[in-house]
Amino acid sequence: MRIATWNVNSITARLPRLLAWLESSGTDVLCVQETKCAEAAFPFEPLRELGYEAAVNATGRWNGVAVLSRVGLDDVVSGLPGGPDYDGGQEPRAIAATCGAVRVWSVYVPNGREIGHPHYDYKLRWLDALREAVGEDAKGPRPFAVLGDFNVAPTDDDVWDRTRFDGLTHVTDKEREALAALRGAGLSDVVPRPLKYDHPFTYWDYRELCFPKNRGMRIDLVYGNEPFAGAVGDAYVDREERKGKGASDHAPVVVDLNV
């Protein structure tokens, strides 16, 4: 089974590339982030024509997550149980589904904006709620993974130049401690380093030629439980999909499972 995660940065803008990539990559399950559309505008039909069912948690032009599957889609949980509110409501940042033999969460962790901003505290509380929500599945016998855009670089090696991030989010001790606590619930990072590149980044800003210069970050992660990690046969960042006109600023992260 081939499972992937991809922040598409607007599924409407990226739809032709998404459909072509699904067809060429042979992906069975795709966790999508930043759909940037309401559920009513989600492209269910084009995906259905390719053989994919879709579970969607999306409410408008910001955020939004989905799970696409051609191997079954059951026991869907939309939203983060126990998750914190922001500006009076829970943002559409999490969705879970069982796809064949595997259960997955697609997550889009809050950005945090600035250290000291209310959104930064919200980010930490959101990660804590995620740890609580996935604990039972993480310790269970079924292959299980949390995939998505975590908006945290786990180590200094996961950013192109750590000194450029002094005083900024994504690299702070508190954010990394929250990720460590999530792993402590029974999960591990199943994408090894290095892969085909010395720095297998997953995100490159559109500005200042960051992609050609490989000034990126590794913030799109796959955290799997022991049965999931033990079934991994291969894992890679599809850096080619970041190239060209109309690309997302994130690349897909792909994991092949022997299940």
Packed helices 118-138 and 173-183: angle between N→C axes, nearest 10 degrees: 10
Q: Is 258 annotated as a binding residue?
A: no
Residue 250 annotated among the catalytic residues of the structure: yes
Q: Could you tell me which residues are beta bridge partners of residue 68?
A: 30, 54
Buried b (16+ CB within 10 A) or exposed e, 76-106: ebebbeebbebeeebbbbbbbbbbbebbbbb
Kindly report the backbone phi and psi dihedral angles of residue 230, in degrees, each rounded to the nearest multiple of 5, phi listed first. -70, -15
The CA distance from 105 to 6, in Å, is 13
Catalytic annotation on 122? no
Catalytic position from the list 52, 108, 203, 236: 108
250 assigned ligand-binding residue:
yes
199 is in an annotated binding site: no
Residues 6+ apart with CB under 8 A from 118: 86
249 is in an annotated binding site: yes
* Contact (Cβ atoms closer than 8 angstroms) between residue 63 and residue 92: yes
List 149, 158, 220, 256, catalytic entry:
149
198 is in an annotated binding site: no
Q: Which of 120, 158, 236, 250 is catalytic?
A: 250
Q: Annotation-wise, does 28 bind a ligand?
A: no
Residues that constitute the known binding site: 7, 34, 149, 151, 249-250
Q: List, by residue number, the catalytic residues.
A: 108, 149, 250
Residues that constitute the known binding site for Mg(2+): 7, 34, 149, 151, 249-250
